[in-house]
Amino acid sequence: MTDIEPIAVEVAYATPEKQLIIAVMVEPGTTAYDAALKSKVCEEFPEIDLESAKFGLFGQALGSKGLAAAREYVLQEGDRIEIYRPLIADPKEVRRKRAAAKKA
């Protein structure tokens, strides 16, 4: 028998129509990617491809700004992992078009 206590984390995903936050108990040392697998979020949202999905932690993209990538980031108690949908439009292009429309 082990004395290792699981930790509570959350996995979040949203579409324009539906948002879901799944509470998951994981072993210490679990990565963000592994928690997403364990949450079974793909059963609720089959369009998610965890292999190519971008992940975040409380709004900070994993794999950037000094944060480890999803397969390496080790979760801490209370972490909320977010799975991001692919962008539909380039935000820079949208801003450019909006600025051009204001000038016209």
Tens-binned pLDDT, residue by residue, of the chain (104 aa): 467 899 999 999 999 899 999 999 999 999 999 999 999 999 999 999 999 999 999 989 999 989 999 999 999 999 999 999 987 767 788 788 888 888 87
The correct answer on CATH 3.10.20.30 for the domain covering 7-103 is: yes
- Which pLDDT does position 93 carry in this prediction? 80
State pTM to two decimals.
0.80
In terms of phi and psi (left: phi > 0; alpha: psi -120 to 50; beta: otherwise), the region of 96 is alpha
